[in-house]
Amino acid sequence: MHSHATRLDGIPPTIFTQMSALAVRTGALNLGQGFPDSDGPASVVEAARSALAQGRNQYAPGPGTPELRAAIARHQQRHYGIELDPEREVVVTTGATEGIAAALLGLVDPGDEVAVLEPYYDSYLAMIQIAGGVRRPVTLRAPDFRLDAETLRTAITPRTKVLLLNSPHNPTGTVLTGAELQLVADVAIEHDLVVVTDEVYEHLTYSGHTHVPIATLPGMAERTLTLSSSGKSYSLTGWKIGWATGPVDLVGALLSAKQWLTFTSGSPLQPAIAHALDAEPEWPRELARSLESRRDLLCEGLAAAGLSPRIPEGTYFVTTDISALGWTDGLAFCEALPERAGVVAIPTQAFYDDVDAGRHLVRWAFCKQPDVVAEGVRRLVAAELRS
Ligand code: PMP
Ligand code: GLN
């Protein structure tokens, strides 16, 4: 029996694998792991098919193909007025997951502290530890999951190097407001921090809420490394084409690590994503519009089932409090759910250091076809969900 390296000690297996396996094993409807059950734009799939046929099958340049880097720079310009040099300020990554890994490996020394919004996406926990960093959670507390100035300031110490931000926020659905972003900017500038910001849900925001990249705030462009991914915006999660943008020093630090992780990302998919960004610019907003009605359908169903939902402002997740049904532990609830209702969800406590702050919370995904969401709702409303 061989043991794993100590750098992996205490990192639990990803909850997504565990819960998707539970769905497969029980035949339950999977409202857990966040992936859509319909494909992205047909013209983008066609662009990939033709890139495969036209011999785009050898290594792409390490930082990404020139056409995709240029399309990413145009995307940032068009949506946010951010000007980037595609040669030096844009790197293509193998999904945002590699972007997160390469950013942390490229920027964090052993002992450096990383302040991170909690609940956090689970790869943050793993990669901060693998990089040798020390996690300092900044908890967004139920029921409204807003960023609190005092909580943020308390998490910052003289050892803090990076503030790891995520908005629109998985799992809570919070979209940081202008005032919250300004608070982060003030703290980052005051303490000379690097902000790594995961904006994979940038286009998936709902009525009354808009995503503002923190890099657009005064004084922030030079200290912000922005990550995103085509997976969420174009419902192509399996393609794993993401990107990092920002100033040369930060993008360079990420690239220094990325070149040893994968060297380069999938060649034929890169021209196809360039096509997506340039030729299908409205597709993500239309996806958001269709997701908004599914959000409402799921939230109404959850409320009818006695699970008070927090209406998400962005992402494709909704968080509920299970305590009104007599449950105290979301993991026990999620383990019982396939048998009780034929549905799988995610226990939010997997995303907390302060497990007690999230023990009573469960996350549900609504990025499924409307009839699948409706069937999930029917099952939940019909089921006996009391503990
Ligand atoms: N960050 C967040 C907040 C996510 O929810 C996800 C989910 N996929 C990722 C990063 C990973 O993105 P990718 O699939 O592009 O690696
Ligand atoms: N981002 C997706 C979620 O939060 C899943 C990604 C994964 O399985 N690692 O559900």
Q: Which domains does the chain have, with CATH numbers?
A: 6-40+283-382 (3.90.1150.10), 42-279 (3.40.640.10)
**Going by CA atoms, what residue is nearest to atom 2 of ligand 2?**
34
**How far apart, in Å, are the Cα atoms of 84 and each of 68, 284, 310, 355?**
13, 22, 37, 40
Averaged pLDDT for residues 372-385: 96
Where residue 169 falls among pLDDT bands split at 50, 70, 90?
very high
The pLDDT score that the predictor gives to residue 99 is 98
Mean pLDDT of the chain: 97
**How far apart, in Å, are the Cα atoms of 370 and each of 73, 152, 277, 292, 304?**
34, 38, 26, 11, 17
- Is the pLDDT reported for residue 8 higher than 90? yes
The pLDDT score that the predictor gives to residue 60 is 97
- Is the pLDDT reported for residue 356 higher than 90? yes
- Contact between residue 340 and residue 385 where contact means Cβ atoms under 8 Å apart: yes
- Is the pLDDT reported for residue 254 higher than 90? yes
Measured at the alpha carbon of residue 379, what is the angle toward residues 377 and 381, in degrees to the nearest 5? Answer: 65
Where residue 20 falls among pLDDT bands split at 50, 70, 90?
very high
With the most atoms of ligand 1 within 8 angstroms of its CB, the residue from 16, 230, 232 to mutate is: 232
Residue 387: both structure tokens together: 């503990």
Give yes or no for residue 213 CB within 6 A of ligand 2. Answer: no
Going 326 to 358 to 237 to 123, the CA torsion angle's sign is negative
Nearest ligand 2 atom to the CA of 171 is 4
The pLDDT score that the predictor gives to residue 1 is 85
- Contact between residue 197 and residue 214 where contact means Cβ atoms under 8 Å apart: yes
Residue 346: both structure tokens together: 């995610």
> Is there a cis peptide before residue 119, judged by omega within 30 degrees of 0?
yes
- Is the pLDDT reported for residue 286 higher than 90? yes
Give yes or no for residue 16 CB within 6 A of ligand 2. Answer: yes
Averaged pLDDT for residues 115-134: 97
The pLDDT score that the predictor gives to residue 142 is 93
- Is the pLDDT reported for residue 305 higher than 90? yes
